[in-house]
């Protein structure tokens, strides 16, 4: 029996290794497969970018709460939610407006103390607020009125696949995660 096995072993090895050679031409295109299920309209699971414009005053306790519209913005508990403040607007070389975004929290140092623009979030909403031991009623309107915040939601799978990342540079973050910010929806909360 051993002699028989010894005879068939080289034949088996020859048959396995004889299947090498150049790849042949591709075959004809197959038929179109069945159409997949249609997703829910308006739900974006690829990442979201939107703006919130808000005022801070004593009536709202120097904070604003924005609830994500469920038919427009879907945020999962594990997603990364980033908030940037529009710090200033300058011009590019062609004279077009060029916004400068800063990642929050953002600390402001003034002569009589300091405070922060800060935020927290759930997968239902984002809260943006002034934080610190400071008399916010003494702040000028340039610190409290018509403040624009850019919210960026990066899906957890996308964020974790890209490893540790410095989100402080808004433009680099948008490019890295291939998010579209060309037509950002604006929400006003006053």
Alpha-carbon distance 136 to 61, whole Å?
A: 9
Contacts within 8 Å (CB) and 24+ apart, 130-134: 130/56, 130/62, 130/63, 131/105
Question: CB within 8 A of 165, min separation 6: which ones?
Answer: 159, 173, 176
Task: Say what the pLDDT of residue 158 is.
Answer: 61
Encode pLDDT of 81-127 as tens digits.
Answer: 999 999 999 999 999 999 999 999 999 999 999 999 999 999 999 99
Q: Omega before 105 cis (within 30°)?
A: yes
Going by the DSSP 8-state scheme, the letter that residue 36 receives in this structure is P
- Mean pLDDT of all residues belonging to the chain: 84
Cα gap 128→120, rounded to integer Å: 7
Give the integer Cα–Cα distance in Å for 79 and 167.
Answer: 14
Residues 138-150 have a mean pLDDT of 96
User: Which structure tokens are listed for 88?
Assistant: 């200033």
The residue among 79, 50, 53 whose CA lies nearest residue 179 is: 50
Nearest to 176 by CA among 160, 165, 185: 165
Mean pLDDT of 161-190: 82
pLDDT tens per residue, range 10-52: 655 555 555 566 777 887 887 887 776 665 554 444 688 999 9
pLDDT recorded at residue 34:
79
CA 155 to CA 80: how far, in whole Å?
Answer: 6
Structure tokens at 47: 């990442």
The predicted pLDDT at position 21 comes to: 65
Q: Are 51 and 186 in contact (CB under 8 A)?
A: yes
Distance CA(117)–CA(136), nearest Å, equals: 12
For 18-155, where are the alpha helices, taking DSSP H only?
141-144
Residue with the two structure tokens 């607007």: 89
Q: State the number of CA atoms in the 13 A half-sphere of 101 facing the CB.
A: 20
**What is this structure's pTM?**
0.72
Q: Which conformational region is residue 14 in: left (phi greater than 0), alpha (psi within -120 to 50 degrees), or beta?
A: alpha
């Amino acid at each position: 029996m051993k002699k028989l096995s010894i005879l068939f072993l080289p034949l088996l090895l020859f048959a396995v290794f004889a299947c090498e050679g150049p790849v042949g031409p591709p075959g004809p295109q197959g038929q179109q497969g069945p159409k997949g299920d249609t997703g829910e309209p308006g739900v974006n699971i690829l990442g979201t970018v939107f703006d919130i414009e808000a005022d801070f005053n004593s009536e709202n306790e120097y904070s604003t709460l924005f609830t994500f519209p469920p038919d427009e913005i879907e945020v999962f508990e594990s997603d990364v939610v980033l908030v940037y403040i529009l710090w200033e607007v300058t011009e590019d070389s062609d004279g077009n407006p060029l916004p400068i975004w800063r990642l929050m929290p953002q600390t402001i140092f003034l002569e009589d103390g300091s405070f922060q623009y800060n935020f927290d979030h759930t997968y239902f909403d984002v809260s943006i607020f002034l934080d610190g031991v400071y008399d916010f009623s003494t702040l000028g309107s340039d610190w409290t009125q018509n403040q624009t915040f850019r919210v960026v939601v990066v899906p957890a799978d996308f964020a974790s696949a890209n490893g540790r990342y410095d989100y402080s540079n808004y433009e680099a973050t948008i490019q890295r995660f291939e998010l579209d910010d060309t037509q950002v929806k604006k929400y006003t909360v006053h």
